[in-house]
Structure 1
Amino acid sequence: MTRQSHDQFAKQYLHELLSPTGLVQTSYDVASEVWQIDVWFVPTPTPSPARQSLGLLGQMASQTCIFEPFRNPPTPVEIRNCQLKSYSLHGELLRSARRDNNSLAAVELPFLWILSPSCSARIIKGFGAKEDLQNWSKGVYFLPELQKTALVAINQLPEVRNTLWLRVLGRGATQERAVAELAALPEGNSQHRQLLEILANWRINLQLNQNVNDEDKELIMNLSPAYLRWREETLQEGNLEGQRLMVESMLSLRFGAVDEELSQIITPLMQLSAADRTRLLLELSRSELLARFAEPSS
C-alpha cells in the first residue's frame, strides 16, 4: 500500500511543481515495450522564475528528463530497469525523428534521474557513480557520461531550502523534517496551498486504509504537519467549497466514487468538527453513515 501510494503521490507532487516550467507527462507508456515512465518532463525554451524557485529540482529540470522516484532504495535490477525504460524511450524518439526527417542530437535525449531515499556505497561503486560537487549538490551521483543517468540519495542532500522539494520525497527523519519545513513556509502562492493539499490527501488516503502497517503509521506522522496546516487554513478561511471538497475526497477514498446517496450526507458531515468528521469516516461503514445522516421521512 505504502509503495503504491508513494508512487501516485510522487507523480502528482512532481507534476504540480514542474508544470509551471514545462510539459509534464506522468505514467507515460513506451510503445516499444510494456514500460511505463513515472514522470517525463520537457522544459519550456525560456528559463522561468518558477524553475529557479525549485532549487536543485529546477536545476535537474533544465533539460528534458525522466524522474523515477522510489519509496525504498532501488535494487541493482530496478536501477537497470529504469535505464532500460529510458533507453527504450530514446529509441522511440530517434525513430520518430527519422520518420519526420528530423535530426535529434544526443543532448536532446531525456536524462534519467533516479530519486532514492538513500544509496548504499555498494550501489554507488557498482554503477560507477560519482559526485560532481563543483556543479551539483552533495548526494547527486552521476553514472558515466554516456549513460545519461544519475542517482539522487535524498538522505544525503544538504538540509537547505535549495533541496527542500526533493527531501519531501525521502523517508523517515529526512522526510519528517522536510514536510515540517514545507508546512511552516509562508503562503506565497496557490502552488504552496496545492502542495499542502496533495500531502494532506496522501495522509488521508493512508489513514483510511484498513490495513495500516508500521511503515504507514510512520508516514502518517511525517505528513501530519502538512495536513494540519492545510486543514487549519481551510477552516480559518471559512472556505465552504474547500471543506466540501475535503469531505468529498475523504468519502471517495473510503468508499470509491461519491454516488447520489453519499452526496446527500456531505452537508451534514460538513457541520461536524473536523475531528468528529474524520472519526466517523474512519469508524463507520457506508450503511452506518447513510443511516446516521439519513433525512427523516415526512
Structure 2
Amino acid sequence: MSTRKRAFASAPRIAAKQSGDRNRGGGSPARNAGNTISAQPRRGARNTAAPAPLRTWRPAPSLRKNSTRCAEIGLPTRSTNPMLATASRRGRFDAFGKNVLRETLDLVGGADMQVEVIATSQTMDIWYVPDPARAALRAELGLLGELAAEPCQFEPFHDTPGPAELRDCVRKQLHWHHELERRAGGPVPFPRLCVLSSGRPATVLDAFGFDPVPGRPGLYRAAPGWRIDVVVIAELPRTRDTLLLRLLGARAVLRDAIRELIALPDDAWERGIALPWLLRLRFEVPADPSARTQEEAEEEEIVTEVQQWFEQLKQTLRDEARKEGLTEGRKEGLTEGQLRVLAAQFEKKLGRPLTEAEHPVLAERLDRLGSDRLDDVRLGLSADALTAWLADPAAR
C-alpha cells in the first residue's frame, strides 16, 4: 500500500501538542485557568505504531511530522487524594478512547491528536481530514464512517459533559475556523464538531436544542448552522459497526464492548486497533480502597478482566507453541523447531514473511530474551510496531 497522503481541504496542517489529555469534569481549576483549554494531567508521547489491517487492507506507516502518539496509557503517580485519583482515572480512559478513535480514523484519512489552535493556546482532542480515495473503506466503519465523511473536530468524553464542556468545544471550533481562514487567506467551510459522550448529556441536549437524527439511535444534531453532532455512546445499538465507538463508553457499555471485541476472530481489524491500547490500561491501587467510587470499582474490574483474559491467551498460545515446537524439534532439533514455530507466529501477526535480516534477529532475541518475552511483544504490538521492534538493535 502506498504511503498515505495527508492534506487539509483548505489549509495546511498545524503543529500538534507533544503531550496532552484533558482533565474532564466541569469547573475544575485547571480547566478554567486563563484561556488555556489543555488541562493537566497530560500523559505520554504518541506511539508510532500504525493501525492494524481493515480486512485485507494494511496501511503503511503514517507520515505525521508534527504529531506524536501515546506510547503508554495510565501509569499514574500514587496519590491518596480522591480528587486526584478520579482525575487520573478520567485521564486514562479519555486517552484510551482518543487513541482508539484516532487509530480508526487513520484508516480512512488523516487524524491528529491535540491539534493546537494557535490563536488562543487551545487544543482539539482530534482533528480529522478524510482521504477521498478511501471512501469505500470509510463506508465499512458504519456510523463513525458517516461522521468521518468530512473534516471534523472530534471531542470524546469518558464522563458525560455539561454545558461548560460543550462551550469549550464550540469555542475551539470557532477559533479553529478563524485560524484556517487566516492560513488560507480567504473563506473556508466551517468545520464540523462531533462530541462523543459516554452517557446521555440531558442538560446539553435540552439547553442547546439538539434533535435526534432519524434512523440513527444515539446521534443528535444541533441546528444546521452550528454544525455540531453529539453521539450518546450508551444509546448506540449493539452491532459490530458501532463496536469501536462503544469502546469509548463507560461501565456496562464498556464491559460489553470489550467482551464483543475479545470474541471477534483473531484477524479482525477492530482487535488490531483496540487491543494494544486496551492492554496498556492500568489501575492505581489507592492507599484507601474504600475511597473508590462505585464507578471506579466497576471499571477497575473491567480492566482486571481484560488483563486476566490476556494472560490466559498468552498461556494458551505458549502451550500450543511448545507442543508444536516439540513436534518440530523431533525432526530438526529442539531449538530449531521452536524457532520455526515462533517465526510462523510472527509472520502471521506481521501479515507477511520475515525478511532475511529478520530471521537471525528473531533467533538472537529468542536466545537472549526468552520465549515469554517474545510472546508479550508479539501479542501486545501492532504489525507495524512489531516491524519497528525487529529493526531496533536496542529493543527488548
TM-score scaled by length of structure 2: 0.54
- Structure 2 counterpart of 1:221: 301
- Structure 2 counterpart of 1:132: 213
The yes-or-no answer on 1:73 pairing with 2:154 is no
Residues 3-14 of structure 1: pairs in structure 2 closer than 5 A = 3-14=90-101
Quick one: distance in 1 between partners of 2:201 and 2:259? 26
- Structure 2 counterpart of 1:115: 196
Amino acid at match of 2:179: E
Counting aligned pairs with the same residue, the percent is: 29
Residues 1:2 and 1:181: Cα distance change in structure 2 (over 3 Å): same
The yes-or-no answer on 1:58 pairing with 2:139 is no
Unpaired runs of at least 5, structure 1 = 242-265, 275-298
Amino acid at match of 1:114: V
Quick one: distance in 1 between partners of 2:369 and 2:235? 47
Structure 1 counterpart SS, 2:154: strand
Quick one: distance in 2 between partners of 1:52 and 1:138? 18
RMSD value, Cα:
2.9
- Structure 2 counterpart of 1:292: none
C-alpha displacement of 1:188: 2.2
Q: Which has the higher contact order (CA 8 A, sep 6+)?
A: 2
Q: For the Cα contact (< 8 Å) 1:54–1:165, is it kept in 2?
A: no
C-alpha displacement of 1:72: 1.0
The yes-or-no answer on 1:147 pairing with 2:226 is yes
Structure 2 counterpart SS, 1:145: coil
The yes-or-no answer on 1:175 pairing with 2:254 is yes
Q: For the Cα contact (< 8 Å) 1:66–1:112, is it kept in 2?
A: yes
Residues 1:225 and 1:153: Cα distance change in structure 2 (over 3 Å): same
Residues 1:231 and 1:61: Cα distance change in structure 2 (over 3 Å): farther
- Structure 1 counterpart of 2:283: 206
Quick one: distance in 2 between partners of 1:94 and 1:117? 33
Unpaired runs of at least 5, structure 2 = 1-87, 322-341, 344-367, 377-396
C-alpha displacement of 1:78: 0.7
Structure 1 counterpart SS, 2:161: coil
C-alpha displacement of 1:226: 4.1
Quick one: distance in 1 between partners of 2:104 and 2:203? 32
TM-score scaled by length of structure 1: 0.71
Alignment equivalent of 1:157, drawn from 230, 236, 248 = 236
C-alpha displacement of 1:211: 7.4
Quick one: distance in 1 between partners of 2:135 and 2:91? 32
The yes-or-no answer on 1:17 pairing with 2:96 is no
Aligned residues: 239
CA deviation string 1:233-280 (max 9, x = no partner): 444444989xxxxxxxxxxxxxxxxxxxxxxxx959958xx9xxxxxx
Residues 239-254 of structure 1: pairs in structure 2 closer than 5 A = none
Structure 2 counterpart SS, 1:13: helix
More helix, by proportion = 1
Structure 2 counterpart SS, 1:40: strand
Amino acid at match of 1:216: E
The yes-or-no answer on 1:27 pairing with 2:140 is no
- Structure 1 counterpart of 2:177: 90
Amino acid at match of 2:206: K
Residues 1:79 and 1:103: Cα distance change in structure 2 (over 3 Å): closer
Residues 1:228 and 1:185: Cα distance change in structure 2 (over 3 Å): farther
The yes-or-no answer on 1:197 pairing with 2:197 is no
Q: For the Cα contact (< 8 Å) 2:108–2:131, is it kept in 1?
A: yes
Structure 2 counterpart SS, 1:201: coil
Residues 1:21 and 1:6: Cα distance change in structure 2 (over 3 Å): same
Amino acid at match of 1:150: D
Q: For the Cα contact (< 8 Å) 2:279–2:307, is it kept in 1?
A: yes
Residues 1:217 and 1:121: Cα distance change in structure 2 (over 3 Å): closer
